Amino acid sequence: MSITSINPVNGKLNRYYEEDNPASVGKKIDQTHKAWLLWRETGFPERAALLRKMAENLRHQKEELAVLMTIEMGKPVKDGVSEIEKCALVCDYYAAEGTGFLKDEIIATEAAKSYVSFQPLGIVLAVMPWNFPFWQVFRFLAPALMAGNCGLLKHASNVPGCAQAIEQLVRVSGFPDNVFQTLMIGSGAVNAVIEHPGIKAVTLTGSTGAGMKVAAEAGRLLKKTVLELGGSDPYIILADADLEQAAETCVYSRLINNGQSCIAAKRFIVVSSVEEEFTALFKEKMMQRKTGDPFDAAIDLGPMARADLRDELHRQVQDNIAAGAKCILGGKIPSFEGEHAFYEPTILTGVKKGMPAYSEEIFGPVASIISATDTDDAVRLANDTFFGLGGAVFTKDLPLGEEIARNRLQAGSCFVNTFVKSDPRLPFGGINQSGYGRELGLFGIREFVNIKTVYIR
C-alpha cells in the first residue's frame, strides 16, 4: 500500500510514499514511548535550547519548505514562507515562556507545603489537516515537546512530504531519536492507534465529522482530547463601520489560503443601510485578487488542495443559487491552461436561512453576504450557527465593538476591526461544533499535562 502526493496545480504525481502497516505502527509507538521515558527527565533549559535550534532551522529552510507545501497542497510560495516563519515564532515563544507556564504553583493551605505541579502525560497523537501543513503541526508540537511529552503525527494523506519534512526537522535540530515520528497511515487506521496503551492523548484539527469520530473513540478509552474543528465565522459590518477598511480586511480574510481556513471569514452580515455600498467595495476588492501559478509572487490565490474539494465547493455554490442566492462574482471553474484544482473568487448575495451558505462551512474562496436590519439583528444572525470558532465586528464605536465581541458573539475568538487569526501568545479554539480545548498560550501548553496536587503535612 502507498500514499500518493498529487500536485494540485496540474494534477501530476509528485511521488508515492510507502504506507505503514500495523506492525510498523506498533513499533513506532513503542519506540516513542521509550524515548518519552528519557525525554520527560530532561530539564526546561535543554528543551528550550532544542526548540530555539528548531526555530533556527525552520527559518534557514523556509524557502524549500514553502515550495514543498505548494507542490503538495497549492499554497502560494510567499504564503508558505510566512507559514514557516510563524512555526519558528511558536518554537521561540514556548522556549521563552514554557518554563514559567509549567513551574510549580505554591498554594497556601493548612499544610506545611502544598503546590501544583505540571507533569507530562506521554505520547500525544496528532491528527492534522492539509490546509496549513506545517503550522497546524507546530502549534501542537512546540508546547508538547516543551512540556516533556512526545508526539506521533497522522498527517493528511495529500501532504506526506510535509509530514516527513517535519520529522526530519525535529531530528536535525538535535532532539533525541523518536521523540516525534510520522505515521504514514490512512484515516481508517487512526482508531487502532488511539487504542494503543502507549497513546495518552489526542489532538485533532479538521472537520466536525472527523472530530466526532476521534472524540468518540478517545472518550471510550478515557483519553484526553483537544479538537479544533470547522467554522463558519461571521463578520458583522455595522452602519458606522469604516467600509473601505472593512471591505479590504474582509476580502483578505475570506481568501486566506484560497479560502481554505477554519478561521477565514465566511459569512458577512451587513446592516442593510450600508449593504449596497459595502457589497460594491467588497466586489471591487475581490476582483483585484489574481488567481494563477502559486510560484508567481504577484499571484494572490493558487489552486485548491484537491480537485474533488474544488468540485464539492462548486456544487455548494450551485445549490445556493438554486435556492435563491444571487452570484454577483465568480461561481465558475476557470479553464486556463494547466488548470487542475482552481476556483474563481465568488460572492453570493441574498443568502438566507435554509440555504447551504447560511449554515454550512464553505471551504474555499466563496463569500456569503447576509443582510441584517440593525445591530441586534446582526448579532442574532451571527450566532445562528452550529459553529463557534471565531467572529469579528466592524464599527467606529470601539466600546460597542468590544461589548459585542466580549459578551454577545458566541465564539472562541472575537476580534474588533480586524480579521480573526491565531497567535502563539493567545489561546485558540472553539465552542459548539467547532470543538473544545485550547491551543497556544498558557492554556495550550497545559492541555496535555497532569495537573498534580502535592500536599505535605
Residues recognised as catalytic: 228, 262
**Can you say how many angstroms the Cα of residue 427 is from the centroid of all Cα atoms in its chain?**
13
Residues 6+ apart with CB under 8 A from 130: 72, 73, 155, 156, 158, 159, 305
Cell 478515557 -> residue: 222
The radius of gyration of the chain's CA atoms, rounded to the nearest angstrom, is 23
Distance CA(282)–CA(252), nearest Å, equals: 10
Distance CA(406)–CA(415), nearest Å, equals: 9
* Total residue count of the chain as it appears in this document: 457
Residues 6+ apart with CB under 8 A from 152: 28, 29, 32, 123, 124, 125, 126, 180, 181, 182, 183, 193, 199
Q: 380 phi and psi, to 5 degrees? A: -60, -45
Q: 235 phi and psi, to 5 degrees? A: -115, 115
Distance CA(254)–CA(365), nearest Å, equals: 7
Residues 6+ apart with CB under 8 A from 64: none
CB 128 within 8 A of CB 99: no
